[in-house]
Each structure stands twice: as C-alpha cells, then as structure tokens.
C-alpha cells in the first residue's frame, strides 16, 4: 500500500513526471483502478464486472484488473486478443476458469472473418437480429449467445441504444429461433448508454429483461445469465447522482425480479478508469486575439482531448502556478480550427513552456487519439502498478 498522498505532493509528483518524461504525458494510477473495482464489487456483490476494454484498452489495465478478479467486455477481435494474450499467463481465480467467465464479445455486429477467428475460443457473443444469428450459427458454431435487447436510454450522456438491440416484442422469437438452429442462448443483455444519470433506465431495462426471461422459460428455454451492461456514472461534477444509490436500487430489483441462481454480470468501462488518469500538457504557443489570451498546447481534440467530441465530456484545465485569472481560449497543436479545447477556460497568465493538467481523463480519451498532423498520442506513464 502506498502512503496517503496530499494533493500538494500529488501535484509535485505529476509535475516531476512531466519534466522527466516530456509532454503530453498521460499518467495512469493503478491504485485508483483497484479502488474503483473494489467499490464496484462492494456495492454490487452479486455482479461479476466485465471491464469494457474500449474505454481504455491499455494492456496494463487489463492485467491489473484481471489480477483482482475482473473479466472483460471486448468490441473487436484485436481487443479480444489484447485481453487473451495478456491474461493467459496469469493464474485464474475460480470465477475466471472458463473463457466465458473471462471475456464477452459484446459488439452485436461481427465480421464473418472475426467469427471464424473467435470460434476456436468458444466465445460468449451478443446478437440482436436474425441475420447476425444465422452468421454466428454458420461461422462460429461453438459460440454461446447473449441476446441484446433495446432499452430506454434517455438521460445518458452518450447514447448507444438506438444502434443496437432487439425490440422486446421480437426478443423471445429470436431466442427460440437460436435454439431451433442448434445454438444455446445463455443470457440476455442491455446497455443503457454511457454515463447514465437516469436510474429509471436501469429499472425499466431489468423489468423488460425479467419478463422476456419469464416468457422464454414458459416456452421451455431457461436463460442463465443477466448482463446489465455499462453506463455506471462517474462523479465528474456534483450533478452526477450517487453510484451507491444506483447499486442499492439494482440489488433490490435483482432480488425482486430474478431467480436466485441467475448469474449477473455487468460491463463497466468508464467507472473503472475515468478518474485513474491525469494528463499533463505544455503551453507551446501564445497569442492575444480579440483581447482574449489564447494558448496553444501540445495535446488537443484529435488526441487525448478526443472525449470533448466523442464523449461529450469536458476536462477543466488547471495550472500549476497561481496568479490573477482570466477567461482564455485553449487550442490543440494541429492546424484545424476544430482543434479547440475550450473558448472559456479560467487560467492565470501563462508563459510558453508552462504546464497544465486535466484530471478524470482516463476513459474514452487516449482510446480515440489519432496521429493527425503527425502528432502521436500522449505517452503513458503507469504509477502504483
Ligand atoms: C461501451 C459499452 C460499455 C461500457 O460503457 P461505460 O458507460 O463505459 O460503462 C458496456 N457495454 C457495451 C455493450 C458497450 O457498448
């Protein structure tokens, strides 16, 4: 265990790392990841956590989470291999003995080539329509199935439900069709969308899942797994509702709506990694435009700040130094005006070479960084690994 760190010591530490390693630098604290996992498991003891790798696919995160008992949700064959290659040499805990207990392939649309590659691992894969079902039966006959259903997602920051999910009305038919084709439906899944701040979505999704399971059972097909997806909100600000409250509501509904022996799994992505990373970036240029100070940084929207676009997220920038503050504009390093981090950031007067940092930037950030304009993604430094 590390010593309790004061905020001041922490700032000194990340400043030292930035000076030593150069910027932009993405500092990933593995102790935070372990704390997040523990918080999740403590609040939801019946739920096995399958970390959604797409939130941050760094292999070191996979190793850290696997060692403390997590499983994984992958969205592509490369992500599947990141998990598979990194955990195969590590000792398994009891729950992790079978491939299904390690990995779920939760992208409902899969290339035929991907199905061929996956089949040898007897994977657990999701589907939500008849065409995909036929593809799986033909090209990955050793897979187990999870039917993804469509659920309400109003109030989530990132909307994912409109693209995927069988409507509740067609769900039972899709289950029966699979069994007819000789493949087993192991579970039902949903995803309420990311950073879900409307807990009613989960409640309605559980209700829908329970009624589909009941109907399937009455027609001779008992479903063993309930997969409640991701969406667990991160406390970016005070408007975000408490995860503990959500967990309490979920636990009560598990008891009320489902058989005792059902296996429950979840796919938390953001929750495990968002607060585990801090970015340190440098002022590389400076100008005054329309009497507003403008700063140009060595990281931007095409890189670690990609979450501003794809994740509808903001990352307040903070300086290491004090001083009178002014509303300033902050830009990334590329030649595109789109590369604007903020047009109204409150910052002290900065010089070229000064450092800034952004916290809570661990999820959906570096994962979508590009090489646009030839600038590579930020370098990653792991601490407390
Ligand atoms: C992206 C995704 C997740 C992870 O969502 P978070 O909001 O990061 O927890 C989980 N399940 C599915 C199917 C996803 O697409």
Cβ neighbour number for residue 252 with a 10 Å cutoff: 11
Q: For residues 117-129, give the mean pLDDT.
A: 94
Distance in angstroms (rounded) separating the CA atoms of residues 132 and 207: 25
Q: Is the pLDDT of residue 362 over 70?
A: yes
Ligand 1 pocket test, candidate residues 33, 49, 55, most atoms within 8 A of CB = 55
CA angle (269, 273, 278) in 5-degree steps:
145
Same fold yes or no, 7-27+274-383 and 31-273:
no
pLDDT value, residue 154: 72
Q: pLDDT tens digits for 79-105? A: 999 999 998 877 766 544 455 678 999
pLDDT value, residue 153: 76
Q: Which residue has the higher pLDDT, 94 or 271?
A: 271
Q: Left, alpha or beta for 257 (phi > 0: left; psi -120 to 50: alpha)?
A: alpha
pLDDT value, residue 94: 53
- Per-residue CA distances from 12 to 5, 16, 41, 275, 279 (Å): 11, 6, 32, 18, 14
Q: How far is CA 293 from the centre of its chain?
A: 35
Distance in angstroms (rounded) separating the CA atoms of residues 90 and 85: 10
- Per-residue CA distances from 72 to 86, 104, 268, 313 (Å): 12, 6, 9, 24
pLDDT value, residue 181: 97
Distance in angstroms (rounded) separating the CA atoms of residues 145 and 318: 46
Q: For residues 345-361, give the mean pLDDT.
A: 98
Q: Ligand 1: does its nearest atom lie under 6 Å from the Cβ of 165?
A: no
Q: Is the pLDDT of residue 44 over 80?
A: yes
pLDDT value, residue 142: 94
Q: Ligand 1: does its nearest atom lie under 6 Å from the Cβ of 128?
A: no
Residue-averaged pLDDT of the chain? 94
User: What's the CATH fold of domain 31-273?
Assistant: TIM Barrel (3.20.20)
Q: pLDDT tens digits for 143-181? A: 999 999 999 877 666 665 578 999 999 999 999 999 999
pLDDT value, residue 163: 83
Q: Enter the DSSP assignment of 241.
A: P
Q: What is the largest CA-CA distance in the chain?
A: 72
Q: Is the pLDDT of residue 2 over 80?
A: no
Q: Which residue has the higher pLDDT, 94 or 319?
A: 319
Q: For residues 46-53, give the mean pLDDT.
A: 96
pLDDT value, residue 1: 45
Domain residue ranges in the chain: 7-27+274-383, 31-273
pLDDT value, residue 160: 57
Dihedral angle over CA of 53, 59, 60, 64, nearest 10: 50
Q: For residues 222-230, give the mean pLDDT.
A: 96
- Cα 341 to ligand 1 centre (Å): 25
Active-site residues, by number, are 335
For the chain, the residue count is 385
Work out the burial of residue 136: count CB atoms within 10 Å of its CB; fewer than 13 is exposed, 13-18 middle, 19 or more buried: buried
* Residue whose pair of structure tokens reads 């800034």 in the numeric block: 356
Q: Are 376 and 304 in contact (CB under 8 A)?
A: no
Q: Is the pLDDT of residue 277 over 60?
A: yes
Q: Are 187 and 147 in contact (CB under 8 A)?
A: yes
Q: pLDDT tens digits for 281-291? A: 999 999 999 99
Q: Ligand 1: does its nearest atom lie under 6 Å from the Cβ of 193?
A: no
Q: Are 163 and 120 in contact (CB under 8 A)?
A: no
Distance in angstroms (rounded) separating the CA atoms of residues 299 and 20: 17
Q: Is the pLDDT of residue 200 over 50?
A: yes
Confidence of residue 321 (pLDDT cuts 50, 70, 90): very high
Confidence of residue 239 (pLDDT cuts 50, 70, 90): very high
Q: Ligand 1: does its nearest atom lie under 6 Å from the Cβ of 96?
A: no
Helix (H, G, I), strand (E, B) or coil at 245: helix
pLDDT value, residue 171: 97
Domain 7-27+274-383 carries which CATH code? 2.40.37.10
**Ligand 1 atom nearest residue 52's Cα:** 4
Q: Ligand 1: does its nearest atom lie under 6 Å from the Cβ of 191?
A: yes
Distance in angstroms (rounded) separating the CA atoms of residues 238 and 306: 23
**Ligand 1 atom nearest residue 194's Cα:** 7
């Amino acid at each position: 265990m590390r010593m309790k760190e004061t905020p001041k010591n922490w700032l000194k530490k990340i400043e030292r790392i930035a000076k030593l390693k150069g910027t932009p630098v993405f500092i990933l604290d593995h102790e935070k990841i372990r704390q997040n996992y523990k918080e999740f498991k403590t609040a939801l003891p019946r739920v096995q956590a399958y970390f959604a790798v797409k939130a941050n696919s760094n292999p070191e995160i996979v190793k850290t989470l696997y060692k403390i008992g997590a499983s994984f949700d992958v969205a592509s064959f490369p992500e599947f291999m990141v998990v598979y290659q990194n955990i195969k040499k590590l000792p398994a805990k009891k729950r992790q003995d079978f491939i299904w207990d390690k990995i779920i392939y939760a992208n409902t649309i899969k290339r035929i080539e991907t199905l061929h590659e996956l089949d040898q691992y007897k994977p657990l894969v999701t589907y939500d329509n008849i065409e995909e079902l036929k593809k799986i039966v033909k090209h990955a006959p050793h897979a187990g199935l999870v039917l993804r259903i469509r659920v309400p997602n109003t109030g989530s920051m990132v909307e994912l439900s409109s693209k995927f999910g069988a409507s509740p009305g067609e769900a039972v038919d899709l289950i029966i069709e699979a069994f007819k084709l000789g493949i087993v439906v192991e579970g039902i899944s949903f995803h309420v969308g990311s950073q879900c701040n409307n807990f009613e979505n989960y409640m309605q999704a559980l209700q829908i899942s329970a009624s589909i399971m009941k109907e399937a059972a009455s027609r001779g097909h008992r479903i063993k797994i309930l997969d409640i997806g991701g969406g667990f909100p991160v406390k970016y600000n005070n408007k975000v509702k408490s995860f503990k409250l959500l967990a309490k509501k979920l636990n009560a509904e598990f008891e009320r709506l489902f058989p005792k022996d059902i296996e429950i799994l979840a796919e938390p992505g953001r929750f495990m990694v968002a607060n585990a990373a801090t970015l340190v970036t440098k002022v590389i240029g400076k100008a005054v435009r329309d009497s507003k100070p403008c700063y140009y940084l060595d990281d931007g929207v095409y890189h670690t700040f990609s979450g501003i676009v794809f994740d509808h997220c903001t990352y307040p920038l903070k300086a290491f130094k004090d001083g009178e503050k002014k509303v300033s504009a902050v830009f990334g390093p590329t030649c595109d005006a789109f590369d604007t981090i903020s047009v109204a950031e409150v910052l002290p007067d900065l010089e070229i070479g000064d450092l800034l940092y952004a916290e809570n930037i661990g999820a959906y950030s570096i994962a979508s960084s590009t090489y646009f304009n030839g600038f590579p993604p930020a370098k990653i430094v792991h601490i407390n690994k």
